[in-house]
Amino acid sequence: MERITIDPITRLEGHGKIEIFLDKEGNVANTYFQVPQLRGFERFCVGRQVEEVPLLTNRICGVCPEAHHMAGAKAADAVYHVDPPRTAKMLRELLYSAFYVTDHTTHFYALAGPDFVMGPDAPVAERNILGVIHKVGLEIGGKVLQCRKYGHTVIEMIGGRKVHPCTSIPGGLTKGITEEQRKEIEEMGKWAIEFAQFSLKLFNDIVLGNKAYVDLILGDIYTHQTYYMGLVDENNKVNFYDGKVRVVAPDGTEFVKYSPKDYAEHIAEHVEPWTYLKFPYLKKVGWKGFVDGKDSGVYCATPLSRLNAADSMATPRAQEEYDKFYKTLGGKPVHQRLATHWARLIELLYAAERWVELVTDPEITSPNFHTIPTEKPTEGVGIVEAPRGTLTHHYWTDERGVVTKVNLIVGTTNNYAPISMSINKAARSLIKKGTVVTEGLLNMVEMAFRAYDPCLSCATHSLPGQMPLEVTIHDADGNPIRVLKQFVE
């Protein structure tokens, strides 16, 4: 049996290892997406004051600390049974919207962009953000950096720091914003809306205007029919910060809609011996293996899932794009995983519009940004949509508010089964008897899961840093016969 290894995956946070096993004919026998990192965070928080935890969970990930901070903040509110005032919720959501704009922008241009703009067969050294800038122009690189700057400025104004926010406490925030800051945030928000529209146009011209890419997006290789999960407001519109969790079936009908505190009734985790990460699935459907369909409890939580799980977008320009999206792809729900990149840009636009909507609300500068908790702390759940999927933080404390137990289900964790299935399907379709394994081909297998924008740092709550890429091909006896590297020693 031959073995092809992609280890670890490039352009991905955290450490992952793809092992592809070939049979004697050179076809794919099986694939494993192993996550060798152990979760450690849930242990580390035990014994801490619960109000410290949103500051600690910031450090699970250097890319989306805001998501963990918000989920943690909401869980801490719930532990103290306190409802923050409207201004506090709006400020948190405003920070969160600016974060989404920055995060989705960086993802599209630094991660997904290279695949589409350069092409999956472009040489390694060009398949990165420098290559993208080289091809589409310096101006775009400048805009990406500008977008990041604006987003981080808003995060700093409301969250106290550019990257790891620290102003959320049980009951609200430690500070509000001044009218001067409000004006500045509004200006940046308007720029962000234009930039989001520009990005959608870029996608339209470069990707949708290229038949080869459209075929790739619509192709069966990257298509799976699963359940889809996302947070929605009371009108079933996408919301990143608050609401209920809604799950729709592969045919698009609503399967369940639950409050954060009830998540454990609906989600269970399946264990496999060859990986540390567990596979969440819908309890009421049951675990049937790594298979598609409405009888399989596998579900997906990504920008695509969020658009599928909702009925519409809450802002007008994003809604126009939402309609165009489904019209182009043949109706709801959309099952083509590469369409996630498009869905992400629609969310980018919504986040920018929501940014302006919130910052122009008269109550945003109100000094009423904190409600002092009065109840005894016990237990609480906070759920937000992280860019990579539904994020659940569940804390238990004693009567002093000292943490006794933590459970985290992180964005990418939700997608572990779908990612495994996507890699498997892509490998089977692209690696066949006699096919020479080129890097571009391996990159296409990686494209399968990169669409999920996975963050393994978050999923394993462990931060192993970055490592070079190595692929080892083993012959039928397990001897390494070929080694491909992405780095120079």
**Residues of this chain that bind other proteins (CB under 8 A):** 10-13, 37, 40-41, 43-44, 56, 59, 62-63, 103, 106-107, 110-111, 114, 124-130, 133, 138, 141-142, 145, 148-149, 152, 162-164, 450, 453-455, 462-469, 486-489
Contact 100, 388 (CB under 8 A): no
Q: Which residues of 378-413 are buried (b: 16+ CB within 10 A; e: fewer)?
A: eebbbbbbbbbbbbbbbbbbeeebebeebebbbbbb
The nearest distance, CB 400 to other proteins, in angstroms, is 21
The nearest distance, CB 322 to other proteins, in angstroms, is 24
The nearest distance, CB 76 to other proteins, in angstroms, is 18
Contact 73, 92 (CB under 8 A): yes
- The residue among 16 and 260 lying less far from other proteins, judged by its C-beta, is 16
- The residue among 28 and 447 lying less far from other proteins, judged by its C-beta, is 447
- The residue among 109 and 281 lying less far from other proteins, judged by its C-beta, is 109
The nearest distance, CB 137 to other proteins, in angstroms, is 11
- The residue among 10 and 167 lying less far from other proteins, judged by its C-beta, is 10
- The residue among 149 and 482 lying less far from other proteins, judged by its C-beta, is 149
The nearest distance, CB 477 to other proteins, in angstroms, is 29
Alpha-carbon gap, residue 69 to 64, rounded angstroms: 9
Alpha-carbon gap, residue 277 to 5, rounded angstroms: 19
Short-list 337, 141, 119, 147, CA closest to 226? 337
Backbone angles phi, psi at 236, to 5 degrees: 60, 35
Extract the tokens encoding 113. 């962009």
Angle (nearest 5°) at CA 150 between 146 and 152: 115
Q: Measure the CA dihedral 263/315/418/72, to 10°.
A: -40
- The residue among 162 and 283 lying less far from other proteins, judged by its C-beta, is 162
Using the structure block, give the residue that is written with the tokens 């049996």: 1
Alpha-carbon gap, residue 390 to 231, rounded angstroms: 7
The nearest distance, CB 152 to other proteins, in angstroms, is 8
The nearest distance, CB 46 to other proteins, in angstroms, is 11
- The residue among 367 and 487 lying less far from other proteins, judged by its C-beta, is 487
Short-list 408, 457, 397, CA closest to 264? 408
Short-list 331, 322, 110, 116, CA closest to 202? 116
Alpha-carbon gap, residue 259 to 395, rounded angstroms: 16
Any residues with CB less than 8 A from the CB of 328 and at least 6 apart, and which? 208
The nearest distance, CB 320 to other proteins, in angstroms, is 27
Q: Report the DSSP beta bridge partners of residue 389.
A: 386
The nearest distance, CB 373 to other proteins, in angstroms, is 26
Tell me if residue 13 falls in helix, strand or coil: strand
- The residue among 375 and 489 lying less far from other proteins, judged by its C-beta, is 489
- The residue among 247 and 403 lying less far from other proteins, judged by its C-beta, is 403
- The residue among 163 and 329 lying less far from other proteins, judged by its C-beta, is 163
The nearest distance, CB 488 to other proteins, in angstroms, is 6
